Amino acid sequence: MSTIAPSRLNDVSNAALFRELAADNLTLLAEDTAKRVPTYQNGSPTTIIGPPISGARVLNEFWRDALCGEWRCTGAGTPGTWIQTLPAAVAADPSSGTIPTGVPDPQRHHRPH
């Protein structure tokens, strides 16, 4: 799943302009990927912290949450089963002070007793 809204990419079906349009698309993809923007939903970046909690999801779907934590779907379904593959780039809890149910706490350190 791309984090870039399809409407932001150029339609490359015009053969006469294919190279230019494709090059522009690659530039856009590189810029957005480097910025690590959240996954787009309905044309806007998601505001969800953690993996998606609704909608039908497919195996290996990629999700970047509002704090830029990265997730991969390990079980298709509604909303699917998710594993965090990269922690968010922030050190504070969400403004609500809670972490959604089932989200691993990347700051918790397990020490042997």
Give the pLDDT confidence score for residue 111 in this predicted structure: 46
Range of the domain at 81: 6-86
Q: What band does 110 get if pLDDT is binned at 50, 70 and 90?
A: very low
Is 48 a member of any domain? yes
Task: Specify the higher pLDDT residue, 68 or 73.
Answer: 73
Instruction: Supply the pTM of this predicted model.
Output: 0.51
Label residue 84 by pLDDT band (50, 70, 90). very high
By CB neighbour count within 10 A (0-12 exposed, 13-18 middle, 19+ buried), where does 49 fall? buried
Contact between 75 and 87 (Cβ < 8 Å): no
* Statement: residue 97 has pLDDT above 60: no
Nearest to 87 by CA among 65, 66, 69: 69
Res 63: pLDDT: 92
Looking at the 3D structure of the chain, how many domains does it have?
Answer: 1
d(CA 91, CA 56): 30
User: Where is pLDDT greater, at 1 or 36?
Assistant: 36
> Alpha-carbon distance 73 to 59, whole Å?
5
Task: Report phi then psi at 44, rounded to 5.
Answer: -130, 150
Q: Specify if 43 maps to a domain.
A: yes
Query: What is the reported pLDDT for 85?
Result: 92
Give the number of residues written for the chain.
113
